[in-house]
Amino acid sequence: MTGVRIAGTGHTHFGQFPERTGRDLFAEASAGAIEGAGVEREDIEALFYGNFMGELAEDQGHQGPLMAEMAGVRAPATRFESACASSGVAVREAVKNIRNGEADAILVGGAERMTNLGTAGATKALSIAADELFEIRAGMNFPGAYALMAQAYFSEYGGDREDLAHIAVKNHENALENESAQYQRAITVEDVLEAPPVAEPLGLYDACPITDGASAMVLVSDDFAEREGIDAPVSITGTGQGSDRMALADREYLARTPAATAAAEEAYADAGIGSDDIEVAEVHDCFTIAEVLAIESLGFFEPGEGIGAARAGETTRDGSIPINLSGGLKAKGHPVGATGTSQIVELASVLSGEHVNSDAVPDARIGLTHNAGGTVASTTVHILEVRS
């Protein structure tokens, strides 16, 4: 079975661009990925594309062939939708296709246009990733849902808003010099604690922003990279996916995310490693409590121990396992369909020594990305390794 290498990456700036269309954003990201890979467009055998709310934000479905056209690729194109994990699922399917010999070179990525809807419109559009019958009709939205998860966590394990504030501060600090990030400004613990409440115990700085943007990668087989002379030192060596019940009320746990645990266990087994081998990670911190749940589900910390990790400096850039050196969704931004591939683009850059924050982990060779949909009803986990 062939290995899968990251040959080239592309990434728009993440931010507020209500005048730009999704197709325009993906055209930019895909061009960067293809040019970075140094491959001919006719050599790309498929496009796997992640997008969540195109029908609501742009009245545009059937985006696979549209985005292939924008990328200048004449190949079968498929759109993947799994809420905020849409492009994470697209990457997983691309990896499997290359491994089983169906393709040697695949363009994979995602895009989302959100800010043209406004805050209320985007919040409503995002809510369709929840259970319409038992949550949306009752007025549930994702700030409220993650607030319930935070309350459940505090009740079961302890912790407080100040612990969460340290996560927000850390991720904003990591984004300061990341040119792709939406928010390149520092905040303090006091800023977080004094910010307007969104849904108790979460405040404004506990939530990621509404974001427009796109990301893309060209993935190739080992044989293709060798044959074409492509310098691609970072490989995707493990992939996993997990699911959970949609509605929070139907779950066994509110303070844990079993879908992430299942995805991580599959990815670790696939790569032949364990959680102790991970040196750096990008996790899905749509809200600060989500980072806590992620690092525990991934096996980095025992249940109840993740809440104090940022405050203790364990997940900061000079900690034992730096988390979200890109700034995470919290500061880099979260154009939902683009997030899964964006995490991999950022981590590959860190591992290859090309990221502005690579100096935090100069010898790191193994990293992980964790991309979640909804209230972690769907999750993908990918393992990246530097191969000579």
Is residue 137 included in any domain, yes or no? no
Neighbours of 241 (CB within 10 A): 21
Decide if 25 contacts 111 (C-beta within 8 A): yes
Name the burial class of residue 229, with classes exposed (0-12), middle (13-18) and buried (19+) by CB atoms within 10 angstroms of its CB. exposed
Q: How far apart are CA 196 and CA 149, in angstroms?
A: 19
- Say whether 84 is catalytic: yes
List 11, 166, 334, 382, catalytic entry: 334
Going by C-beta distance under 8 Å and a sequence separation of 6 or more, which residues neighbour residue 70? 23, 24, 26, 27, 30
3-state helix/strand/coil string of the chain: CCCEEEEEEEECCCECCCCCCHHHHHHHHHHHHHHHHCCCHHHCCEEEEECCCHHHHHCCCCHHHHHHHHHCCCCCEEEECECECHHHHHHHHHHHHHHCCCCCEEEEEEEECCHHHHHHHHHHHHHHHCCCCCCHHHCCCHHHHHHHHHHHHHHHHCCCHHHHHHHHHHHHHHHCCCCCCCCCCCCCHHHHHHCCEEECCEEHHHECCCCEEEEEEEEEEHHHHHHHCCCCCEEEEEEEEEECCCCHHHCCCCCCCHHHHHHHHHHHHHHCCCHHHCCEEECCCCEHHHHHHHHHHCCCCCCCCHHHCCCCCCCCCCCCCCECCCCHHHHHCCCHHHHHHHHHHHHHHHHCCCCCCHHHCCCCCEEEEEEEECCCCEEEEEEEEECC
Neighbours of 274 (CB within 10 A): 12
Q: How many domains does the chain have?
A: 1
Q: What confidence score (pLDDT) does residue 176 get?
A: 98
C-alpha closest to that of 170 among 306, 319, 296: 319
Is residue 184 included in any domain, yes or no? no
C-alpha closest to that of 198 among 242, 240, 164, 155: 164
Residue 257 vs residues 14, 231, 298: alpha-carbon distances, Å: 27, 37, 9
Residue 378 is part of a domain; what is its CATH number? 3.40.47.10
Q: At what angle do helices 142-157 and 118-126 cross, to 10 degrees?
A: 60
Is residue 86 included in any domain, yes or no? yes
List 11, 84, 286, 370, catalytic entry: 84
For 29, phi and psi rounded to 5 degrees? -65, -45
Q: How far apart are CA 140 and CA 244, in angstroms?
A: 18
Is residue 13 included in any domain, yes or no? yes
Decide if 368 contacts 267 (C-beta within 8 A): yes
pTM for the model stands at 0.98
> The tokens 């974001």 sit on which residue?
211
> The tokens 């591939």 sit on which residue?
341
Is residue 143 included in any domain, yes or no? no
Is residue 333 included in any domain, yes or no? yes
The letter for the amino acid at 329 is: L
Neighbours of 273 (CB within 10 A): 17
Is residue 104 included in any domain, yes or no? yes
Residue 9 vs residues 50, 177, 232, 272, 381: alpha-carbon distances, Å: 15, 19, 11, 26, 19
Residues spanned by the domain of 113: 4-117+209-386
Residues 114-139 have pLDDT tens digits of 999 999 999 999 999 999 999 999 99
pLDDT one digit per residue (tens) for the chain, 388 residues? 789 999 999 999 999 999 999 999 999 999 999 999 999 999 999 999 999 999 999 999 999 999 999 999 999 999 999 999 999 999 999 999 999 999 999 999 999 999 999 999 999 999 999 999 999 999 999 999 999 999 999 999 999 999 999 999 999 999 999 999 999 999 999 999 999 999 999 999 999 999 999 999 999 999 999 999 999 999 999 999 999 999 999 999 999 999 999 999 999 999 999 999 999 999 999 999 999 999 999 999 999 999 999 999 999 999 999 999 999 999 999 999 999 999 999 999 999 999 999 999 999 999 999 999 999 999 999 999 998 6
Is residue 336 included in any domain, yes or no? yes
Q: How far apart are CA 364 and CA 318, in angstroms?
A: 13
